[in-house]
């Protein structure tokens, strides 16, 4: 990322630049910036490998990448993104979408990297899911470094910080205990020993903390014997909120975002860092995704959409735009948001070249394309394309290209592969969502005169030379003539008769794309069917 010459940082309005400025502030500000002793600015994303990567994982990494790029545009300093896998967590429940459920059920409570891979491909279940995560991120060409919790614990990388946790356990208990239920307060400990008997990550009461020997004493559930275990070398794992704070300190994390459901965890982890005399990272807390009913999306419930499902109907860039838009606002994440987001992306791209240099930097296009966008040419909206497919009632791409080339003979799959893909998305969306819900309204005695007048206007007032806006104006006049209280009702009627749906594109733009003669032909067919 090339450093930009920005005179006044307050002129930058987009949220990635605001976040980047917070990172600068944490490290002395842009004029007195002090590079962390580790030699780079570290941005972290976290991942729980008990299941497969999902759209939230994509969102967190793409948003963090946007912040990293914004930082690189403000100051010339090394940066790194790590994706941290909590693969030492104990398996809590068996996922629905895996084989060998009986085997997994027998390993409930063991670290994910100690459980055999149910797919029988990798060293462990944790390794399998880690590989899926990396493949998923690599597919989108993210620049990141993968970090395994198991590896860091067992290698001793965390040992120094874990010892500091042990030395300050009383302070940590004072922070955590007030947030717990009474029945949990008596058994809570920051340390989760790995049982030598069962191999499980134990949620047990610690009988004695021994900072001088770097150990704890607990009662083994299987035989009720007192066991002394070192907290170092991967013999113990830390409870989640304490683990997060430890990770921030040990790795030197400068920035991490997370969902609103982890607000309390961020607060407590921050307090733990402060209690030990360490600096916590800058945090962005983003809002959760909602389903079509306004309910929080959950992997276990399966009420959202996957990355693959989005990419059947829209480009990776449109998904990135969705993630860019208002991260602190709750947003519906369901299939009906995809067409609008695709069109929003097209609109932003069309406008990008017209912007001055400062506004370009704040544009979503700059952030989506890491500061180096390639111009995408399309005067045709995705909404118009899906409706073109709908009125043609076809999944034949060549037919759609035929109409497109009548509109713009310079467009082709070879010189605009992005637009070619857009046609694929439109066909897929039509087949899956439009076609099953088509319900045509017939021309009848009540509306025939309206379509007669519309047909007359198309034949006598409009030619192929007319612009979309001119066509739209003529159609407005037809609606006004028939005294529609709301012209939306006029257009709704046209959509129902011609497209078999209640909503559609701006009609003037659609007719310009579909063609005057073709529109006349289909209206005549509808009228003749009435006769």
Listed residues 263, 289, 315: the one ending a domain: 289
Range of the domain at 25: 9-289
Model confidence band, residue 39 (pLDDT cutoffs 50, 70, 90)? very high
Whether residue 130 sits in one domain with residue 249: yes
Whether residue 422 sits in one domain with residue 361: no
Burial 131-144 (b: 16+ CB within 10 A, else e): bbbbebbeeeebeb
Is residue 373 a part of any domain in this protein? no
Whether residue 244 sits in one domain with residue 214: yes
List the 282-286 sheet strands across, edge first. Answer: 145-148, 79-85, 41-47, 255-259, 282-286
Q: In the block, which residue shows the tokens 């073109």?
A: 388
Q: What is the mean pLDDT of residues 498-524?
A: 91
Whether residue 300 sits in one domain with residue 187: no
Whether residue 217 sits in one domain with residue 125: yes
Is residue 455 a part of any domain in this protein? yes
> Which letter does DSSP use for residue 105 in this model?
H
Average pLDDT, the chain: 92
From the number of C-beta atoms within 10 Å of its C-beta (0-12, 13-18, 19+), residue 528 rates as exposed
Model confidence band, residue 3 (pLDDT cutoffs 50, 70, 90)? low
Is residue 523 a part of any domain in this protein? yes
Whether residue 521 sits in one domain with residue 406: no
Question: Among 2-11, 47-56, 279-288, which is the least confidently predicted range?
Answer: 2-11
Whether residue 34 sits in one domain with residue 152: yes
Judge whether 425 and 315 are in contact, CB under 8 Å: yes
Whether residue 31 sits in one domain with residue 115: yes
Dist. CA 297–CA 356, nearest whole Å: 39
Is residue 92 a part of any domain in this protein? yes
Whether residue 282 sits in one domain with residue 302: no
Would you say residue 449 has pLDDT above 60? Answer: yes
Helix (H, G, I), strand (E, B) or coil at 45: strand
Is residue 374 a part of any domain in this protein? no
Q: What is the mean pLDDT of residues 395-411?
A: 92
Give the model's pLDDT for residue 294.
73
Is residue 318 a part of any domain in this protein? yes
Q: What is the mean pLDDT of residues 37-53?
A: 88
Is residue 377 a part of any domain in this protein? no
Question: Among 229-233, 235-239, 244-248, 302-306, which is the least confidently predicted range?
Answer: 302-306
Strand partners, 209: 216
Listed residues 345, 368, 391: the one ending a domain: 368
Q: What is the mean pLDDT of residues 113-119?
A: 96
Listed residues 240, 255, 289: the one ending a domain: 289
Whether residue 521 sits in one domain with residue 391: no
Residue 431 CB: number of other CB atoms within 10 A? 13
Dist. CA 500–CA 433, nearest whole Å: 13
Dist. CA 225–CA 470, nearest whole Å: 87
State percent of the chain over pLDDT 70: 96
Give the model's pLDDT for residue 61.
95
From the number of C-beta atoms within 10 Å of its C-beta (0-12, 13-18, 19+), residue 365 rates as buried
Is residue 91 a part of any domain in this protein? yes
Three-state SS letters, 211-249: HHHCEEEEECCCCCCEEEEECCCCCEEECHHHHHHHHHH
Please state the domain count of the chain.
4
Q: Identify the CATH number of the domain in which residue 238 sits.
A: 3.40.50.620
Whether residue 314 sits in one domain with residue 175: no
Would you say residue 378 has pLDDT above 80? Answer: no
Whether residue 196 sits in one domain with residue 78: yes
Residue 407 CB: number of other CB atoms within 10 A? 16
Closest by CA to 125, choosing from 93, 155, 153, 147, is: 93
Residue range 154-204, pLDDT digits in tens: 999 999 999 999 999 999 999 999 999 998 998 999 999 999 999 999 999
* Helix (H), strand (E) at residue 41: strand 41-47
* β-pairing verdict for 206-210 and 145-148: unpaired
Would you say residue 298 has pLDDT above 70? Answer: no
Judge whether 381 and 346 are in contact, CB under 8 Å: yes
Model confidence band, residue 531 (pLDDT cutoffs 50, 70, 90)? low
Residue range 270-283, pLDDT digits in tens: 999 999 999 999 99
For the record, the structure tokens of 438 come out as 């088509």
* 368 Cβ contact partners less than 8 Å away, ≥ 6 residues apart: 66, 317, 320, 321, 324, 345
Residue range 50-61, pLDDT digits in tens: 766 778 889 999
Residue range 210-228, pLDDT digits in tens: 999 999 999 999 999 999 9
């Amino acid at each position: 990322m090339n450093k930009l010459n920005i005179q006044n940082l307050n002129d930058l309005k987009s949220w990635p630049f605001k976040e980047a400025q917070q990172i600068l502030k944490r490290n002395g500000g842009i004029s007195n910036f002090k590079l962390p002793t580790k030699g780079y600015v570290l941005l972290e994303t976290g991942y729980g490998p008990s299941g497969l990567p999902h759209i939230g994982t994509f969102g967190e990494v793409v948003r963090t990448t946007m912040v990293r790029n914004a930082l690189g545009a403000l100051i010339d300093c090394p940066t790194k993104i790590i994706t941290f896998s909590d693969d030492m967590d104990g398996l809590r429940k068996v996922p629905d979408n895996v084989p060998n459920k009986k085997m997994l059920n027998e390993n409930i409570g063991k670290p994910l990297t100690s459980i055999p891979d149910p797919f029988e491909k990798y060293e462990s279940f944790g390794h399998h899911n880690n590989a899926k995560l990396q493949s998923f991120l690599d597919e989108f060409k993210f620049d990141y470094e993968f970090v395994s919790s198991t590896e860091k614990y067992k290698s001793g990388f965390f040992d120094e910080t874990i010892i500091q946790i042990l030395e300050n356990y009383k302070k940590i208990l004072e922070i955590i205990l007030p947030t717990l239920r009474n029945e949990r307060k008596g058994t809570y400990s920051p340390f989760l020993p790995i049982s030598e008997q069962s191999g499980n990550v134990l949620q047990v009461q610690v009988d004695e903390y021994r900072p001088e020997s770097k150990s704890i004493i607990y009662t083994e559930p299987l035989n009720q014997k007192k066991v002394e275990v070192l907290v170092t070398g991967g013999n113990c794992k830390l409870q989640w909120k304490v683990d997060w704070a430890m990770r921030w300190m040990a790795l030197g994390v400068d920035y991490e975002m997370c969902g609103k459901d982890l607000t309390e965890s961020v607060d407590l982890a921050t307090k733990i860092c402060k209690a030990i005399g360490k600096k916590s990272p800058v945090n962005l807390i983003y809002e959760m995704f909602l389903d079509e009913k306004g309910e929080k999306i959950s992997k276990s419930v399966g009420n959202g959409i996957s990355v693959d499902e989005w990419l059947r109907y829209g480009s990776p860039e449109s998904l990135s735009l969705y993630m860019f838009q208002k991260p602190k606002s709750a947003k519906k994440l369901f299939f009906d948001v995809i067409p609008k987001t695709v069109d929003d992306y097209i609109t932003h791209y069309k406008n990008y070249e017209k912007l001055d240099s400062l506004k370009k930097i704040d544009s979503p296009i700059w952030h989506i394309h890491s500061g180096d966008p390639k111009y995408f040419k399309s005067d045709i909206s995705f909404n118009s394309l899906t409706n073109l497919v709908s009125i043609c009632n076809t999944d034949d791409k060549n037919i759609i290209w035929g109409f497109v080339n009548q509109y713009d003979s310079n467009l082709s799959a070879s010189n605009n592969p992005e637009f070619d893909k857009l046609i694929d998305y439109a066909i897929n969306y039509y087949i899956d969502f439009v076609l099953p819900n088509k319900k045509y309204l017939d021309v009848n005695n009540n509306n025939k005169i309206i379509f007669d007048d519309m047909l007359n206007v198309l034949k006598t007032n409009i030619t192929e030379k007319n612009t979309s806006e001119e066509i739209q104006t003529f159609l407005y006049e037809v609606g006004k003539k028939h005294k529609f209280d709301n012209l939306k009702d006029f257009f709704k009627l046209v959509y129902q008769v011609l497209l078999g749906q209640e909503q559609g594109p701006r009609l003037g733009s659609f007719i310009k794309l579909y063609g005057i003669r073709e529109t006349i032909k289909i209206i005549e067919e509808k009228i003749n069917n009435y006769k």
